[in-house]
Copies of this chain bind each other. A is one copy, B any other.
Amino acid sequence: MEKQTVTIYDVAREAAVSMATVSRVVNGNPNVKPATRKKVLEVIDRLDYRPNAVARGLASKKTTTVGVIIPDVTNAYFASLARGIDDIAMMYKYNIILTNSDENGGKEVQVLNTLMAKQVDGIIFMGNRVTPELREEFKRSKAPIVLAGSVDAEKSQPSVNIDYVAAVAEAVKNLIDHGNQKIAFVSGPMDEAINHDYRLKGYKKALKDAGLTYDEKLVFETDYTYKAGQALEPALTAAGATAAFVGDDELAAGVMNGLTDAKIDVPGDFEVITSNDTKLTELVRPKMSSITQPLYDIGAVAMRLLTKLMNNETVEENTVILPYGLMKRSSTK
């Protein structure tokens, strides 16, 4: 009793027209006499005909599906972008194939290949470690690819981001203005372009602008986890830091709570400012000051840009920079 599928052929027969005509009414082609359109529509309704998107994809070479490579959906920052992406995708009648990469180069290459095999019309990539192999695969792709909230030092692809170096510089300057001389730079893996080539640069710039000297001992490289942040307290104190810029909100919550647990008052004795302005910043006490980013919009704009690219529209600027801000909450003075 396998459920029977009704095809365009069945509709054509019942409506006494050709497949071509059925196809036309299904696709809203205007070259159909209203009377026959009505007739076909009735049959479609009666038979409950639903076009097979796979067959459609094969015939038209368009799948109305885009691939999205995300480090980890469980990360609030990327999840927000993903939401923006999906909403705009839906608005333009696309669906999203979502895959977690864990920023693992091998997995990324593999995933990219299966996405291409599935003939996605475009790809949105999130992740800050664009390896040469990956860049090679990007080039090979016939589907346009845009980076969202992610940078590639080589700028090999269209992308949408904020100005990370300016944002970080401003955040750090803020800390400096509060009288801090020893400001820690707490970062995720340094082999990620965003940390090494952008945030760190912003950090150094702020230091330099203020006449402070850069001290490697104030740079702390860890992974993006709450635990890692929490465990950082002894090292932070030992280094004599009185403030910290942190590259991820969950990580920042960790360092803040670690500090607090060690009876160090935030922001009284130690200020911390974070980067992503996810919901988390408001949930935690004290609330965390943060660089603000239009998270949802980064995703949304990236997807919008992708639709243009898929549509072969000429696009004025391939790398779009969205505005950032600084939100003072309670983890800074």
Contacts and interface: CB of A to CB of B under 8 A. Distances in A.
Interface in A112-139: 113-119
The 8 tightest CB contacts between A and B, nearest first, are A98-B98, A53-B118, A3-B142, A54-B57, A53-B117, A54-B119, A253-B283, A73-B79
A83 B87 contact: no
A74 B63 contact: no
A118 B54 contact: yes
A125 to B, nearest CB: 16
Contacts of A117: 50-53
A86 B74 contact: no
Nearest to A284: B283
A177 interface: no
B79 A74 contact: yes
Interface string A260-284: 1000000000000000000110111
Given A73-B83, A74-B80, 16 more contacts: A2-B142, A53-B118, A58-B58, A65-B118, A82-B98, A86-B98, A87-B100, A96-B98, A96-B99, A226-B282, A226-B283, A253-B283, A260-B285, A280-B280, A280-B283, A285-B285
| Interface size, A (range) | 35 or more
Contacts of A280: 280, 283
Contacts of A86: 73, 98-100
A76 B74 CA distance: 7
Interface of A: 2-3, 5, 50-55, 57-58, 63, 65, 68, 72-74, 76, 79-80, 82-83, 86-87, 90, 95-100, 113-119, 142, 226, 250, 253, 257, 260, 279-280, 282-285
A83 B74 contact: yes
A95 B74 contact: no
A82 B57 CA distance: 27
Contacts of A284: 283-285
